[in-house]
Amino acid sequence: MAEEILRKVDVDWLLCLYGSMLTDKQREIAALYFEEDYSLAEIAQQENVSRQSVHDTLHRVEKQLRMLEEKLGLRRRLNGVEEALRQALDALPKANETIPARDCLEKALRLLNDEEETNGL
């Protein structure tokens, strides 16, 4: 059960990054399943399609999102930027002369986190 939740969160992250590259129908079905936690049956009823069709669409969407991440690596890059900012902050001494540098790094990290929250990441 926990593995399924982690998989859904992982795919939802990818959906936020690459969802615009899906068709409208794929994006809608994926959003209902991964973001709104609808069941396959609920989506099938709402979209007026079979449960199997919803299952197949979700399988294709997940495969496509993982392929996009493998090729483009946006999530990997964002995680790398965030980690580099955290390491830079940790590496700065606590002395007063580093306050402007620390402020800049903290601002960059806040901007990155704000962007992630704004886009549902």
Q: Tell me, what's the pLDDT at 63?
A: 97
The 10s digit of each residue's pLDDT in 68-105 is: 999 998 888 888 888 888 777 777 776 555 577 777 77
DSSP state of 119: T
Tell me what the mean pLDDT of segment 55-74 comes to: 96
Q: Are 85 and 105 in contact (CB under 8 A)?
A: yes
**pTM for this prediction:** 0.72
3-state helix, strand, coil in the chain (%, to 5): 85, 0, 15
Q: How far apart are the first and last CA of the chain?
A: 22
Q: What is the fold of 2-72?
A: Arc Repressor Mutant, subunit A (1.10.10)
**Distance between CA atoms of residues 110 and 116, nearest Å:** 10
